[in-house]
Structure 1
Amino acid sequence: MTEPDFDHEAGRHQLGDESGKYFDYSQRAQWLRAVVLGGNEGVVSATLLIIGAGTHIDETEALIVTGLLGLLAGALSMATAEFVSVYVQVDTVKAQEDRDQREGRAGGTKTAAAPSPTQVAVAASVAYVVGGILPLLAAFAIKDQQIRVLAAAVTAWFAMLVLGNVAAALGKASVARSCARVLVGGWIEIAVMVGRRKALELYGT
């Protein structure tokens, strides 16, 4: 499977305009979306792992191995999902471009405008690892379960805040809105998953 040719000029503009002239920051939207998604999922997954597995795993070494394996599996899953889903978009754009060319339509969709599946997959998986490693590092050195969970929660809050700031800075968007979305969304996901686990413990068979 080979990726379509992408506009190298557009790719260069994604990194910024060194001349100080007009730059369309929306060109960063696809890979920046993947960074936020991957980073947030990494933070949430690692925090949930510490909250859940930490109650059943007493040895720090076992928790480290479990955490790192979970981080690797999550990053690979994230990369695969992004690669496959973005290729759906690329295939759709390419098919429409082919139809436009056959029917003689000018100014139709352009494959060059579609995101790179590899770029998006790498961005999401790397962000997942970076986001997930922070709560794990905070918890690995702590043996007491309650303090470990507290440390992971504080680190997760900090990591989400940093992720929101990075997203806003790279997209030249509102810092407050970006941070609020990441924090609220991340903690809702954590709360739902913890609530689900508690419900299964209480009412599961």
Structure 2
Amino acid sequence: MASSSNQASLAALEAMEMEDTAFDYSKRSQWLRAAVLGANDGLVSTASLMMGVGAVKQDIKAMILTGFAGLVAGACSMAIGEFVSVYSQLDIEVAQMKRDKKEGDQNAEEKESLPNPLQAAAASAFAFSVGAMVPLLAASFIRDYRVRVGAVVAAASLALVVFGWLGAALGKAPVVRSGIRVLVGGWLAMAITFGLTKLIASSGL
């Protein structure tokens, strides 16, 4: 009887460990997927800004300054948005805890699992900055205008494929289809920004 009881206890512990592992993996994959999407946003928005300015300004300084401004502004915007969103979630969860009037160890465990607004904001800003650095680095040391624009498009395209693949893999979606969708979306964003900026500049506005 003792041995069957021990086996049952061990089985229960193993089941709990498997549940915890699955939960941790799921939670981790969500954070990773959010980071990939944030990096993709940084890549597309910064590359598009640089292409837009490159449509009317061919000097390297204008493109680099535009890309850097886009990186800083985008990272700040992402961080503030994430901070406000997660802080609102934190307020809701704390209010729910107070309503439930839970005390002791159970309450302490809940406090440990509460979202951290500063951590979320920093992670969001970092992910955006990583993506934005791709077109910036691609254009930083190339003086020739056409080669520089080509380098930005090539680097952005490669990064879009990588980010699309990672996002699909973490979200358990079809990898090829998702990668193509992300790549085409990025190309469209850069092409539209380039074309519209060129059109507005040529019209004398």
Give the TM interval when normalised to the shorter protein. Answer: 0.5 to 0.7
**Which residue pairs with 2:93 in the alignment?**
93
Q: Does 1:116 align with 2:125?
A: no
Residues 157-191 of structure 1: CA deviation (Å, up to 9, x unaligned): 1112222333455x373460553453344344445
- Which structure dedicates a bigger proportion of its chain to helix? 2
Structure exhibiting the larger radius of gyration computed from Cα positions: 2
Cα distance in structure 2, aligned partners of 1:188 and 1:136: 19
Shift of 1:44: 1.0
**Which residue pairs with 1:135 in the alignment?**
135
Counterpart contact for 1:31–1:120, Cα < 8 Å: no
Matches within 5 A, 1:49-128: 49-101=49-101, 113-128=113-128
**Which residue pairs with 2:6 in the alignment?**
none
Residues 117-142 of structure 1: CA deviation (Å, up to 9, x unaligned): 22222222111111111112112223
List runs of 5+ in structure 2 lacking aligned partners.
Answer: 1-16, 103-109
Cα distance in structure 2, aligned partners of 1:204 and 1:98: 61
Cα distance in structure 2, aligned partners of 1:168 and 1:132: 20
**Which residue pairs with 2:149 in the alignment?**
149
> 1:23 corresponds to which letter in structure 2?
A
Distance 1:113 1:185, change over 3 A: farther
Cα distance in structure 2, aligned partners of 1:83 and 1:134: 25
- The 3-state SS of whatever aligns with 2:101 is helix
Task: Calculate the aligned-residue CA RMSD, in Å.
Answer: 3.5
Shift of 1:146: 3.2
- The 3-state SS of whatever aligns with 2:22 is coil
> 1:73 corresponds to which letter in structure 2?
A
Distance 1:69 1:198, change over 3 A: closer
**Which residue pairs with 2:27 in the alignment?**
27
Cα distance in structure 2, aligned partners of 1:204 and 1:99: 62
Shift of 1:152: 1.1
Distance 1:69 1:120, change over 3 A: same
